[in-house]
Structure 1
Amino acid sequence: MENFNYWFLLALVLLGLEMATGTFYMLVLSVAMAVAGFATMLSVGLAWQFALCALAVMLGLGILRILKMPFRPDQSSLDVGQPVEVLIWHDNGSARVVYRGAEWDAELESADLPHQGTFYISAVHGATLILTHQKP
């Protein structure tokens, strides 16, 4: 049996294990074994076969790590720049506003802003809207 057959046979075994586990790690190893098999078909030396196999594993694991990172949306919110209607101002400078059909707590971006006029959302901190007069 030719040497490349061993690489491809090992790749098929790992592919079968991947189908049983569904983790994609065995798939990376299977692809790496196939890369080494193709290198063998090109009459590459044994050391280079192992090196290419290891390189394919590292590349595949790097790709998996990037793909499995949890999605973290950027800090900018779709609410930023939207106008709100102020219902009531409290003595401490906070307000109760209506936005998207619900009442929200709100604070001014800076304490020296007047309490009259149109307000826009400049940021969202938890469930509190930060208001400003200029549309961001």
Structure 2
Amino acid sequence: MEASTWWWILAGMAVVAELLTGTIYLLMICLGLAAGAVSAHLGLGMPLQIVVAAVVGVLCVLVARRIRRVRSSGLPASADPAMNLDIGETVTVNQWEADGTARVAYRGAQWTAVLRAGSMPAPGQYRVVELQGNRLVVDKA
């Protein structure tokens, strides 16, 4: 078998491994392996094929990490609107309890709402700013 065939087989195995693990980084390694296959098709020697595959794979991983770092919001998942679609929704609080909680109707069910630190309890409209387990952390809308 030709060297390019082995590179393509390795690239396919990396794709299968990525599908089993769900990480983007194996796809970046797969791009490096594909670059090794292309370099084999171009007639480069085995040492150059390995260098091309390694350089392309490492560069792709570094670019993916950089993009991932730039795109992350820095918020915990419980307060990140990209991760939790409840963030930013409004609820109506009719009455606050003495312990600082309230029962609110939200999405067809009764939820426990708690105030964000520093907010004053008063009946009215509130915006969901975070979820802590099954509690809605709310702030005045």
RMSD: 4.0
Q: TM-score, normalization: structure 1?
A: 0.58
8 Å contact kept, 2:36–2:50: no
The residue aligned with 1:125 is 132
Q: Secondary structure at the match of 1:90?
A: coil
Deviations 1:15-44 (A, max 9, x none): 6974xx93266x93752442231342xxx5
75, 84, 109: which one aligns with 2:80: 75
The aligned runs of 1:95-134 (5 Å cut-off) are 95-110=102-117, 113-133=120-140
Q: How many residues in Structure 1 have an aligned counterpart in Structure 2?
A: 118
Q: How much does 1:110 deviate?
A: 4.0
8 Å contact kept, 2:128–2:139: yes
Letter in structure 1 aligned against 2:38: V
Q: Secondary structure at the match of 1:119?
A: strand
Q: List gaps (5 residues or longer) in structure 1.
A: none
8 Å contact kept, 1:7–1:36: no
Q: List gaps (5 residues or longer) in structure 2.
A: 19-25, 69-75
Deviations 1:63-120 (A, max 9, x none): 8x87xx9xx9672243233221335432212111111111111112246614223223
